[in-house]
């Protein structure tokens, strides 16, 4: 492909990440980002049944840097859904 239809995040990580810190054995393509008082994560996650989910979380708050545990909990919840 010539890239004309490439998604806008194609410059980001394209290799699957092991989601071990979230749930153990899933795979995800994710992009994280930070700005002053903002923290975000977005991407695709394969759950334990092999279903693909779109996961997005953005926090815009003076304490945004402290939201890592909430991001981890979101990915763990999606990964382990029945």
CA–CA gap between residue 76 and residue 19 (Å, rounded): 9
* pLDDT tens-digit map of 44-53: 888 888 899 9
CA–CA gap between residue 45 and residue 49 (Å, rounded): 11
**What pLDDT sits at residue 26?**
55
* pLDDT tens-digit map of 4-44: 444 444 444 444 444 445 444 457 888 888 899 999 999 98
**What pLDDT sits at residue 57?**
94
């Amino acid at each position: 492909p010539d890239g004309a239809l490439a998604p806008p995040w194609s410059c980001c990580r394209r290799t699957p990440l092991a989601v071990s810190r979230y749930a153990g054995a899933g795979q995800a393509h994710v992009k994280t980002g930070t700005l002053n008082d903002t923290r975000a994560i977005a991407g695709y996650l394969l759950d334990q049944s092999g279903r693909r989910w779109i996961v997005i979380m953005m926090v815009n708050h003076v304490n945004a840097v402290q939201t890592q545990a909430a991001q981890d909990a979101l990915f763990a919840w999606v990964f382990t859904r029945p």
